[in-house]
Amino acid sequence: MEYRIIKSPSPGTMDILLRRKSSPSTNTDRSYAAVGLVQGRLIDMVVAADIAEKAAGVVVEDIKGHCPQNLIMLAIFGDTASVEAAMEDIKKKTEMTQGR
């Protein structure tokens, strides 16, 4: 899996992410302080979404892409501390299950 955090995402970055989210949810809040991005295989992304939502007060969205290797990306929206906590929890728990 690959991980990145964008602190204080620009309006253009938020537009890109909100346009590419898979769900037609009503979550169109553009005032998030941070966005965590996690990319990997579908099975890992489902587990990562579950971990993130249980770890902190964040909103998780599946982001559409066109990857020939069937990788998907999650965007984890929230305040900076919550996004950082969710990302750390994902890294810690997925590394434990993969025997690292």
Confidence at residue 6, expressed as pLDDT on a 0 to 100 scale: 98
Question: What local confidence, expressed as pLDDT, does residue 66 receive?
Answer: 72
In angstroms, the Cα distances linking 44 to 28, 48, 65, 69 are 25, 6, 16, 14
Q: Which two tokens stand for residue 63?
A: 């982001």
At residue 60, the pLDDT reads 94
Q: Are 61 and 77 in contact (CB under 8 A)?
A: yes
pLDDT at 100 over 60: no
Structure token digits, residue 61: 């969205």
Domain 2-98 superfamily per CATH: BMC (bacterial microcompartment) domain (3.30.70.1710)
Q: What is the pLDDT of residue 52?
A: 96
Q: What is the pLDDT of residues 43-99, one digit of tens each?
A: 999 999 999 999 889 999 999 877 666 778 999 999 999 999 999 999 999 887 765
Write out pLDDT tens, residues 5-40. Answer: 999 999 999 999 988 888 776 666 678 999 999 999
